[in-house]
Amino acid sequence: MSIRLQISILVYVMVQAVVFGAGVVLVLATPLSAFAMHLMPWVVGVSAIASAPVSWWIAPRMRSRFQRQTASQLPAE
């Protein structure tokens, strides 16, 4: 399993929580609240699907930050 996949799996849960929270606020704080019982399963499904590409996009950026920090700590030649 690649490092990028491992990082994206860890980030996926956090990203999904944020996307789900935004979807819940969007449904419940707008006139869509009248249809909340029908829209909430869609919010759950869309947040689960939309979080995968977002976490895949975030993973290499997290790794590059670590690589920059370790490279700056190497002794000068």
**pLDDT tens digits in sequence order for the chain, 77 residues long:** 888 999 999 999 999 999 999 999 999 999 989 999 999 999 999 999 999 999 999 998 888 767 777 777 766 65
Q: Is residue 7 part of a domain?
A: no
Which pLDDT does position 74 carry in this prediction?
Answer: 65
Q: Are 39 and 27 contacting, i.e. CB atoms less than 8 angstroms apart?
A: yes
Structural domain count of the chain: 1
Tell me which residue range forms the domain holding 31: 27-62
Amino acid at site 58? I
**What is the SS3 assignment for the chain?**
CCHHHHHHHHHHHHHHHHHHHHHHHHHHCCHHHHHHHHHHHHHHHHHHHHHHHHHHHHHHHHHHHHHHHHHHCCCCC
pLDDT score recorded for residue 1: 87
The answer to whether residue 41 sits within a structural domain is yes
- The confidence score (pLDDT) of residue 76 equals 61
How confident is the model at residue 37, as a pLDDT? 94
